[in-house]
Structure 1
Amino acid sequence: MRPARMNKIRAVILDEKVDPVIRQLHESGLVELYDLSAKLEDPEWNALMTPAPSAEYGRNVASLTIKVSRLLDLFSSVSEGEKAGLSGVLNPKVPAKKKLSFSSSEEIISNVENVLESVEGEVSEPAKKLAELENRKTILETLKDSVKYLSGFDLDLKFLGEGSYTYVVSGLVSQEDISELESSLEEATEGYVEIVKGNPVNKSEKEQKIPVIVATLKQCADVVGAELRKSGFERLDIANVEGTPSEIFNDTEKELLSIETETKAILENLNALSKKWTDEVLVLHEVLEIEKERAEAYSMTGKTDRTHLIEAWTPKKHVKKVQEIIESASEGYAVVEVSEPDEPVEKIPVMLDNAKSVKPFEMLTEMYAPPKYNEIDPTMMIMPGFLIFYGIMLTDAVYGLLLTLAGLVLWKRMGKVSSGAYNLGYILTLSGLSTVFFGILTGGYLGDFMYQFLGMDIYTTGFALVNPLGESTYISAAKPLLSLGGIDVNNGPMAILLFSIVAGIIHLFIGLTVGLKESLANGSVLDAFLNQGMWILLILAIVATVVTGNMMIAGGAVIAVIVLCMIKGFMNGGILDALLGAMDITGFLGNVLSYARLLALCLATGGLAMAVNIMAKLLGDAVPVIGILIAVVMLVFGHSFNFVMNGLGSFIHSLRLHYVEFFGQYYEGGGKKFSPFKAKREYTSN
């Protein structure tokens, strides 16, 4: 399947009718606006029209958005204590949408201003008082921190600062510097200084300082200040207060308690106002953001004296609908032209268009890179391969069940408000079901839990087809699955390895076939043969060898491919590249063997689960009384670790097999994702 085919819409619209057209297109979400700014720099285009500015109402919208954002910040700050909890996170509430119907920016701005006036009428006064209290609290806390160091002084602090004839300052000096400071001040002021020292105080665990009050003549203030700075004097921020340090400290504590009580009352009031108005303000914010997008959309158009030119991309299946929207919104005062893409494929937007059951897997395609406009969309091919590989690598039915439940929570609960959670949840749910299926086939139920704790060997009862760590009823030395080249596939690891290699060959064959078809469609027969065709022939030769048992077929194919690789290298860069080209076959074999990671991760999951079970059983048997409890804890934490780590590893390695081995055969990516001009509505509906 290819991305949706695109058309370009070009519409010339009368000035008076542009706004309703932009509004209707924005609501439909069917187009991606084309920015004409670069095109209008061309002299030929510039002679016909000029770039249009953003809509004038955008300034009012921006101003109102700032006011609304401040209100939301205020409401958020006073509601910090209200937590949604785990239930709220796992099952978020979908906000009820308010139905609005506005036909112009003037109506919207008027409505926003009216609502804001009502909200601010109730909120502004307590918010202003709260800000004043917080500012006063900061001042008092700073004063309190300062005067506590002067608690040993019996001095009215109103005398601090500059007087008519004196200069008095308080601060902290380290014990090592106090003697030197006294000497330097005596010398600098010619004895016109008085230094009163208090008891040493610990400003921190490693720092002890002495509080001092320095008094001198006003004319000596500058030289005293200079000497204090040299000694590392830390001035205490005390000003405009009266009373002794202990009096001020006590008064400050009382006022802080009063402020705390008053602040609590105001916060309760604001919290109530937040509950009353938050939903309404969120509606305003959303409406303004939508208007902002519409105002900025004008800057992507071109303008003449009486008209605007709009260009946009739209999927071909929506062309008729878009034409109807433009003609209806403009009341016929528009000329619409539809054309095929006239841009390089890298610039044509790409919209993936898969069935609903496959669509969430588009997330995996886009994690690598969206396809180019002329490329095939690999999403449909990713889905089955990813699920099969994931199930084989995790391969434990209990882990699969846990993964399915986690996926369902993401998909059905958190997915209600997040498209990313919806997609990931859907993928994990199907991956979990795949893991359950392969877990049942391989007898994986928390590893060998049944054998260790219930004494039941599931592999001898016939309830498991394959034993990843040994023999089973169906595959054993007595009952080999098959023989290949004298090698018996007579145990689980060999069977899974064989399956992995066969699955890898089939996976690569599909990718090579798609790549061959794409290359032929682009008219490059030689490239198609040298890049994909010869590897397809090699795979077919290997299959023929397995069927017939004639090793000459595979041997001849390998020699032929090596020769072709050398010819390809010589064509690209000469003799040296020809010699290096012979190594391409090892790269292809490396791609095939890379699928052996299916076995590696399958063994890792089962092996670690087995280790957890053995350790838990040993602890339960060895430790008296509480051994069972310790064993249960070991089982819970051990299997949780194994589930998370190998679940993540299976996800990553399943993607790697697609991104590196599979995509390397036919897919490049690098397309520009279709970005619809669409009103994002969470709290409103139109």
Structure 2
Amino acid sequence: MGSLFRSEAMCLAQLFLQSGTAYECLSALGEKGLAQFRDLNQNVSAFQRKFVGEVKRCEELERVLAYLVQEIKRADIPLPDGDTSPPAPPFKQVLEMQEQLQKLEVELREVTKNKEKLRKNLLELIEYTHMLRVTKSFVKRNLEFEPSYEEFPSLEKDALLDYNCMQRLGAKLGFVSGLIHQAKVEAFEKMLWRVCKGYTIVTHAELDECLEDPETGDVTKWYVFLISFWGDQIGQKVKKICDCYHCHVYPYPSTVEERKEVHEGLNTRIQDLYTVLHKTEDYLRQVLSKAAESVCTRVVQVQKMKAIYHTLNMCSFDVTNKCLIAEVWCPEADLHHLRQALVEGSRESGVTIPSFMNTIPTTETPPTLIRTNKFTEGFQNIVDAYGVGSYREVNPALYTIITFPFLFAVMFGDFGHGFLMFLFALLLVLNENHPRLRHSQDEIMKMFFDGRYVILLMGLFSVYTGLIYNDCFSKSVNLFGSGWNVSAMFRSTQDDTNTSVHWDDNDIKANAFLQLDPDTPDVFQGAYPFGIDPIWNLATNRLSFLNSFKMKMSVIFGVTHMTFGVVLGIFNHLHFKKKFNIYLVCLPELLFMLSIFGYLIFMIVYKWLTYSAANSKLAPSILIEFINMFLSPGGGAASGLYQGQSHVQRFLLVVAAVSVPVLFLGKPLYLLWLHNGGRLFGMHKSGYTLVRKDSEEDVCLLGSQNVEEGISHLEGEGRKEEEEFNFGELFMAQAIHAIEYCLGCISNTASYLRLWALSLAHAQLSEVLWAMIMRVGLRVDKTYGVLLLIPLVAFFAVLTVFILLVMEGLSAFLHAIRLHWVEFQNKFYIGAGTKFTPFSFKLLSSQCNKDDMA
């Protein structure tokens, strides 16, 4: 929990890795995830680094493994599902593994190529068989209408026949047959007619079954065609047109005997191809099944090996080129684990000289490390979305665990809706180890799963606030009995002894609405034990009462939340040894906030405790009193809340007015005095440094000692160049901060009224949904009421889930995020750090069956 309050202390360490043990040492470090490596070769391109050849080798192995995974998926062989994380392969086994994978790839490609060739030949033979079967019917049909060549006049009898006619009659009749896609038939016929000028006869018919295309593998509808032509020139044109339309052309037998012989040969070859293809597929499946047993392990090992070489490229060599030097950021608490990992790596490599490390001083800002678990991770992600915390500053996530679901529940308060949300999150929590949930590819479901504990607390707090509001699906629940007694307001007409204002029979008959008087004896018997009295759900002034209650509650929560943020800034200044910020920044901010808005909360609570039903008519308006505090600080004493109110208000206004110039000028003037302090006190001081990397407001004193406590200044060695003191720039930064804070106190307090607004909107929307759907079904008579109520309940449940739970829940979630980011965290949280990203194999994907591998 200490790490969650503030990021862990980091140190810069220098690793000296022997050339023979560097691979094993980084493998041990990657398994533990202890250190973040710094790139010492930033000026060297990626193609000129030492281990670029090994990285290319790993990329080649990744390509081979991706091909294996693709072939295994194509064969429908299940990949083993497991979260096992094998270690990186030893350096000596890398070449052996590469040789085995390459040999397996060559074998698979050859077998797959042969299989595809056999499959293509089989499909072509099947097409050829169908073509012969269909064209056989063409020939039988055409023989019935075949013209006799004797009808043509002979050359001897007709001397007037020209040479062209003689050449045409003597030409050889040719045939072209094949298959064509269904969509190309019409265009194919038109092209043949236009190019061949009608000297062709085209016959086609549709196949009864769909066939697989040998080229693409798509199952489509085919047409069988038979083209008859005269002459070689026309035949060449027909063949070119068939090629243009990607027709599958097959030889056409000229005689019946030849057709029969070809058909028998095709059947024999098809049977042989089926046998060979089945044996090839069985052998291929055996090879892939054996490869599938270790392919996931190989994928993870290659990923780890590639990550090791990428990290080694970030190291530099010493002058002898025998030792690698690396610089890492490491948590101080894990230094002994880091040394142990180096010892383990050196022992595995079997070298005599082990690798070692030592810490080095630095002035650079370390990365931010905040350790989380599955419960706190969701809340930390909400904070990190605003900005990663600066090094060692207070982490808001510790308090966000409570404040975020609570502010959400204030806006979403409904017992029924909160309980449904709690059940949904509880279901995710109980099944959090289910592989389908952990590795879901659905972004919305993954978002819900990652924030399951946030949703769980949001639902739980909504149940609590729903009980406070006494609101369950827009209806109140009477658990303890109402504290109001209606019968005490009624008296009969014969009772004239009581002088109090009571109801009689005439009042009941004449008035549609009557008001309960809490000052009447026995009417108000005490406050409801928990939450709001259920009788308010029946009152006509319920909305006015709840608005007043929720508006005051929102102001109280808002001012308390912002004041707590200012107080957390004190812990930052104490940790960074900047006590002047406490007196010159935090204290004026607190005085300004509490003297105005803290006094407003005091008036609200004082009015609740002081005034009762007996003197409620004398109670002044808090809003009027608060406005008069600024317009007429010394007036209005006769109608004030308490004696001496005007003196207290004048004092608070003076405190608020004095805190503003202190907030404007205190810090710049103090730092100016401190900058010239050496000449004033006769002491030699270098002054201070304005550090602008994290924030313009951060001021750190030079040296390793605290100058405010009077300790002598020590010159730091190895310090980077520091920015000179600039009073004007510092004054402008502080003035902007002061103006932003003073105006933000007003706007941020008003911003917390969204708690009231969204709570009112959610309650009213829930009430409208009940009135328009459920009330209609409940008012129907007994005959048809049950039949109508079932679909109405289903419709009400659907609208409740999608509108009141999803849409309203998302709206309250976004408003709660805004209240934390803008109104709370800007009081103390800078969020200008960099996240600690260690060299860890856990960040690598161990799932080899994802789409990116295929």
- Which of 654, 665, 670 is the matching residue for 2:816? 654
CA deviation after TM superposition for structure 1 residue 402, in Å: 2.5
**Distance in 1 (alpha carbons) for counterparts of 2:737 and 2:846:** 61
Q: Does the C-alpha gap of structure 1 residues 411 and 129 become closer, same or farther in structure 2, counting only changes over 3 Å? A: farther
Asked if structure 2 preserves the Cα contact closer than 8 Å seen for 1:51 and 1:300, the reply is: no
CA deviation after TM superposition for structure 1 residue 382, in Å: 1.9
1:309 paired residue number: 325
What amino acid is the match of 1:631? Answer: L
- 2:338 equivalent to 1:322: yes
Q: Does the C-alpha gap of structure 1 residues 220 and 240 become closer, same or farther in structure 2, counting only changes over 3 Å? A: closer
**Distance in 2 (alpha carbons) for counterparts of 1:405 and 1:199:** 64
Q: Deviations over 1:16-75 (max 9, x none)?
A: 22222222212221111211112679xxxxxxxx98522765555444433333333333
- Which of 225, 235, 238 is the matching residue for 2:245? 235
What amino acid is the match of 1:21? Answer: C
Superposed counterparts of 1:386-405, under 5 Å: 386-405=404-423
**Distance in 2 (alpha carbons) for counterparts of 1:104 and 1:580:** 57
Asked if structure 1 preserves the Cα contact closer than 8 Å seen for 2:375 and 2:453, the reply is: no
1:19 paired residue number: 23
- Which of 786, 809, 829 is the matching residue for 1:667? 829
Superposed counterparts of 1:43-82, under 5 Å: 53-54=50-51, 58-79=55-76
Structure 1 unaligned regions, length at least 5 = 42-49, 84-92, 157-162, 202-208, 479-488
Q: Does the C-alpha gap of structure 1 residues 632 and 328 become closer, same or farther in structure 2, counting only changes over 3 Å? A: closer
1:494 paired residue number: 548
CA deviation after TM superposition for structure 1 residue 630, in Å: 1.6
CA deviation after TM superposition for structure 1 residue 315, in Å: 0.7
**Distance in 1 (alpha carbons) for counterparts of 2:272 and 2:415:** 62
CA deviation after TM superposition for structure 1 residue 647, in Å: 2.2
1:29 paired residue number: 33
**Distance in 1 (alpha carbons) for counterparts of 2:131 and 2:766:** 62
Q: Deviations over 1:297-335 (max 9, x none)?
A: 221111242111121111111123213432553354445
Asked if structure 1 preserves the Cα contact closer than 8 Å seen for 2:566 and 2:586, the reply is: yes
Asked if structure 2 preserves the Cα contact closer than 8 Å seen for 1:14 and 1:307, the reply is: yes
1:609 paired residue number: 766
Q: Does the C-alpha gap of structure 1 residues 335 and 176 become closer, same or farther in structure 2, counting only changes over 3 Å? A: closer
1:589 paired residue number: 746
CA deviation after TM superposition for structure 1 residue 220, in Å: 6.9
**Distance in 2 (alpha carbons) for counterparts of 1:116 and 1:218:** 52
- Which of 79, 99, 106 is the matching residue for 2:92? 106
2:536 paired residue number: 471
Asked if structure 1 preserves the Cα contact closer than 8 Å seen for 2:89 and 2:305, the reply is: no
CA deviation after TM superposition for structure 1 residue 605, in Å: 2.8
Q: Deviations over 1:562-617 (max 9, x none)?
A: 8889999x977999x99999797554322212112222222233223222322123
Asked if structure 1 preserves the Cα contact closer than 8 Å seen for 2:409 and 2:459, the reply is: yes
Number of residue pairs matched by the alignment: 620
Q: Does the C-alpha gap of structure 1 residues 276 and 326 become closer, same or farther in structure 2, counting only changes over 3 Å? A: closer
CA deviation after TM superposition for structure 1 residue 285, in Å: 1.8
Asked if structure 2 preserves the Cα contact closer than 8 Å seen for 1:119 and 1:277, the reply is: no
Q: Deviations over 1:195-250 (max 9, x none)?
A: 6476999xxxxxxx999959586557898999x89xxx982522245579xx99xx
**Distance in 2 (alpha carbons) for counterparts of 1:264 and 1:449:** 73
Q: Does the C-alpha gap of structure 1 residues 603 and 213 become closer, same or farther in structure 2, counting only changes over 3 Å? A: farther
SS in 1 for 2:409: helix
SS in 1 for 2:51: coil
- Which of 362, 370, 373 is the matching residue for 2:380? 362
SS in 1 for 2:13: strand
SS in 2 for 1:16: coil
Q: Deviations over 1:326-384 (max 9, x none)?
A: 255335444522024443x3xx3221136886454212122222112254322113222
Asked if structure 2 preserves the Cα contact closer than 8 Å seen for 1:497 and 1:596, the reply is: yes
Q: CA RMSD in A?
A: 5.9
1:429 paired residue number: 456
Q: Deviations over 1:634-662 (max 9, x none)?
A: 23212212222222222222112112222
**Distance in 2 (alpha carbons) for counterparts of 1:654 and 1:310:** 44
CA deviation after TM superposition for structure 1 residue 677, in Å: 1.1
What amino acid is the match of 2:796? Answer: L
Computing the radius of gyration from Cα coordinates, the structure with the larger value is 2
CA deviation after TM superposition for structure 1 residue 515, in Å: 4.0
- Which of 468, 476, 480 is the matching residue for 1:441? 468
**Distance in 1 (alpha carbons) for counterparts of 2:317 and 2:285:** 49
What amino acid is the match of 1:37? Answer: N
- Which of 590, 596, 621 is the matching residue for 2:779? 621
CA deviation after TM superposition for structure 1 residue 409, in Å: 3.2
Asked if structure 1 preserves the Cα contact closer than 8 Å seen for 2:555 and 2:601, the reply is: no
CA deviation after TM superposition for structure 1 residue 286, in Å: 1.6
Q: Deviations over 1:84-135 (max 9, x none)?
A: xxxxxxxxx983647x6777222366468779989999x8898667655775
Asked if structure 1 preserves the Cα contact closer than 8 Å seen for 2:556 and 2:601, the reply is: no
Asked if structure 1 preserves the Cα contact closer than 8 Å seen for 2:588 and 2:663, the reply is: no
**Distance in 1 (alpha carbons) for counterparts of 2:140 and 2:654:** 106
CA deviation after TM superposition for structure 1 residue 541, in Å: 0.8
1:483 paired residue number: none
- Which of 376, 394, 418 is the matching residue for 1:376? 394
What amino acid is the match of 1:298? Answer: L
CA deviation after TM superposition for structure 1 residue 428, in Å: 1.7
- Which of 282, 296, 308 is the matching residue for 2:310? 296
Superposed counterparts of 1:117-266, under 5 Å: 131=116, 182=193, 186=197, 193-194=199-200, 196=202, 235-240=245-250, 242=252
- Which of 91, 95, 99 is the matching residue for 2:82? 95
Q: Percent identity?
A: 17
Q: Does the C-alpha gap of structure 1 residues 14 and 597 become closer, same or farther in structure 2, counting only changes over 3 Å? A: same
CA deviation after TM superposition for structure 1 residue 437, in Å: 1.5
- 2:307 equivalent to 1:283: no
Asked if structure 2 preserves the Cα contact closer than 8 Å seen for 1:32 and 1:314, the reply is: yes
- 2:599 equivalent to 1:544: yes
Asked if structure 2 preserves the Cα contact closer than 8 Å seen for 1:79 and 1:271, the reply is: no
**Distance in 2 (alpha carbons) for counterparts of 1:236 and 1:625:** 67
What amino acid is the match of 1:616? Answer: M
